[in-house]
Amino acid sequence: MSAGTYTPKPGAAPLGRMIAAQTAFETRMLLRNGEQLLLTVVIPSLILVLFSTVDIIDTGAGEPVDFLAPGVLALAVMSTAFTGQAIATGFERRYGVLKRLGASPLPRWALMSAKTLSVLVTELIQIALLTAIALSLGWSPKGDPFSVLLLLALGTAAFSGLGLLMAGTLRAEATLAAANLVFLLLLVGGGVMVPLEKFPDGVESALALLPISALSEGLREVLSEGAALPWRELGILAVWAVLGLGAAGRFFRWE
Amino acid sequence: MRSEPVVRIRGLVKRYGSKTAVDGLDLDIAQGEVTAVLGPNGAGKTTTVEICEGYRRADAGTVRVLGLDPVADAPRLRSRVGVMLQSGGVYSGARAEEMLRHMAKLHAHPLDVDELIERLGLESCGRTAYRRLSGGQQQRLALAMAVVGRPELVFLDEPTAGLDPQARRATWELVRELRADGVSTILTTHFMDEAEQLADDVAILDAGKVIARGTPEELCRGGAENTLRFTGRPGLDVNSLLKALPDGTEAAEPTPGTYRIAGRVDPLLLATVTSWCAQHGVMPEGISVERHTLEDVFLELTGKELRR
């Protein structure tokens, strides 16, 4: 390199460009990760195809796909916003990525915005794919798209808060184990593929308060029954979002 | 005219619980120079550097980096300062080239990424995921990430730990080029030869304070004792030689026929030794005066016992 190559000429890139670059980078990292894809794409697709076509679980009256599709959309949101984000961020913290980026021109709030955008981009891909599969299996969604978007947005906020809380407070290995365990438990007990009515009454009302249940039941009310805004479920998700994001903001440790 | 120091530290104190890591440290670092911060493990080097980088808050004292407060003014400082962490800092699934390109995108006037990759010999790692790079390749990538934004000041935390001699030289060369182009560099290192080779200025830290300061030459000259060696007939009367020498000088025959005289070795002492040899009919062969290295000075100042 010639003389003067390193002559200082510092400066941050424009904020919009930094956030766009960080979003693209985070999304690429996420889509490259095989284990993440298993959780975010493969498992939801398999559940949708398998249980819609093979009569293994009793999804109640009506077409199985009409019951399963909203649940699997909720699962997709949880897998990306919660499980995937918690694991990825936990390891970024462990490997000093968050620390190093903290010394870059990218402000912390912009990093968190980029993470959220990256989650949304991934969800968009998941939802497009799962919707296509569900439609090909004969799904006939009803309802108001605005209610669906609102549910997805609040669900994403709730799961992101919980995922970041876990990533920012636990060791990376503990986050990995816990995030996967929670994914499995909520997959079974969160109204994704097993209707909540199948559980005993007391258990059912407790499970209904979980964010995954609120999201899957809320989506089901809108998409399968054509209900208007499901206030109860939106309320539950909003409470989780406030608690999760608030606690993450308070307790998140960058190193 | 000397310009404002790029780093100005006064009375810095940092405690972790009951342990005081930095204990009233004062340090000015000159603009455009390479400054090496040396010290045994636990001397407070990394803590001091991390406070300058804005990662930690001081418990007492003031720190100014480029005239700004590293914590309160962090948003304004971050684009002007390049940071190389001791380890990590890269997404484990990211490829070397892609990570560097990404860092470049966060800056307004970055270096040419291709040239930088070639400069540091990272061409072969471009497509390799970070976690599969060798330790030396990871170090060089971290260095590239620290300079890609064309900063005014770079902090390098043990930049050549684990590098092979070729990579080490490439890193040194880059640091020299940074200096030639007016970038100020602060590096911590355990390699005394690295400090001797690169640094305009050395600060030796121990127990959270600066215990010695100066150019490598000044530090090697000041205080440290030198050694005179020669070989001759085995079994010379060392005590008789010692009587001819000034007080405080040591003389010994570590192995038969080799003689070692330690003390303030000046022309007079050299003349005394050779005339004593002449009187005793000894031809002092292979006579040599060893200048003390920075490592000798370092060990003299910080002690030879192991630190925990």
pLDDT tens for the 308 residues of chain B, in order = 457 899 999 999 999 999 999 999 999 999 999 999 999 888 999 999 999 999 999 999 999 999 999 999 999 999 999 999 988 899 989 999 999 999 999 999 999 999 999 998 888 887 889 999 988 899 999 999 999 999 999 999 999 988 888 889 989 999 999 999 999 999 999 888 899 999 999 999 999 999 999 998 888 876 556 788 899 999 999 999 999 998 888 888 988 999 989 888 888 889 999 999 999 999 999 898 877 778 877 887 887 666 65
Specify the number of domains making up chain A: 1
Residues in chain B: 308
Q: Does a structural domain hold residue A215? A: yes
Q: Which residues of A touch B79 (CB under 8 A)?
A: 10-12, 105
Over pLDDT 70: what percentage of chain A?
99
pLDDT of B304 = 64
Please give the residue range of the domain that contains residue A157.
16-251
How far is B177 from chain A, CA to nearest CA, in Å? Answer: 7
Do B177 and A1 count as a contact with CB atoms less than 8 A apart? yes
How far is A98 from chain B, CA to nearest CA, in Å? Answer: 7
Q: Which residues of B touch A255 (CB under 8 A)?
A: 55
pLDDT per position in chain A (255 positions), as tens?
567 889 999 999 999 999 999 999 999 999 888 888 899 999 999 999 998 888 777 777 778 899 999 999 999 999 999 999 999 999 999 999 999 999 999 999 999 999 999 999 999 999 999 999 999 999 999 889 999 999 999 999 999 999 999 999 999 999 999 999 999 999 999 989 888 988 999 999 999 999 999 999 999 999 998 888 999 999 999 999 999 999 999 999 888
pLDDT of A208 = 93
Chain A contact probe: residue of B105, B152, B155, B174 with most A CBs at under 10 A: B105
Q: Which of B79, B89, B180 sits opposite A3 (nearest CB)?
A: B180
CA distance linking residue B9 with residue B2, whole number of Å: 17
Pick the CATH number of B226-291 from 3.30.1580, 3.40.50, 3.30.160, 3.30.70: 3.30.70
Q: Does a structural domain hold residue A230? A: yes
Pairing of strands B81-84, B153-157: parallel
pTM of the predicted protein model: 0.85
Q: Which residues of A touch B147 (CB under 8 A)?
A: 6
Do A8 and B150 count as a contact with CB atoms less than 8 A apart? yes
Domain ranges of chain B: 7-221, 226-291
Residues in chain A: 255
B7-221 in CATH: which number? 3.40.50.300
**If you write DSSP's letter for every residue of chain A in order, what string do you get?**
--TTTT-----BPPHHHHHHHHHHHHHHHHHH-HHHHIIIIIHHHHHHHHHHHS--S---SS-HHHHHHHHHHHHHHIIIIIIIHHHHHHHHHHTTHHHHHHTSSS-HHHHHHHHHHHHHHHHHHHHHHHHHHHHHTT----S-HHHHHHHHHHHHHHHHHHHHHHHHHS-HHHHHHHHHHHHHHHHHHSSSSS-GGGS-HHHHHHHTTSHHHHHHHHHHHHHHH--S--HHHHHHHHHHHHHHHHHHHHH----
Q: Does a structural domain hold residue A3? A: no
Q: Does a structural domain hold residue A71? A: yes
Q: Does a structural domain hold residue A202? A: yes
Q: Which residues of A touch B53 (CB under 8 A)?
A: 103
pLDDT of B154 = 97
Report pLDDT digits (tens) over A59-117. Answer: 777 788 999 999 999 999 999 999 999 999 999 999 999 999 999 999 999 999 999 99
B133 touches chain A (CB under 8 A): no
Q: Which residues of B touch A35 (CB under 8 A)?
A: none
B53 touches chain A (CB under 8 A): yes
B150 touches chain A (CB under 8 A): yes
pLDDT of A73 = 96
Provide the greatest CA pair distance for chain B: 75
pLDDT of B1 = 45
Do A8 and B182 count as a contact with CB atoms less than 8 A apart? yes
Do B111 and A5 count as a contact with CB atoms less than 8 A apart? yes
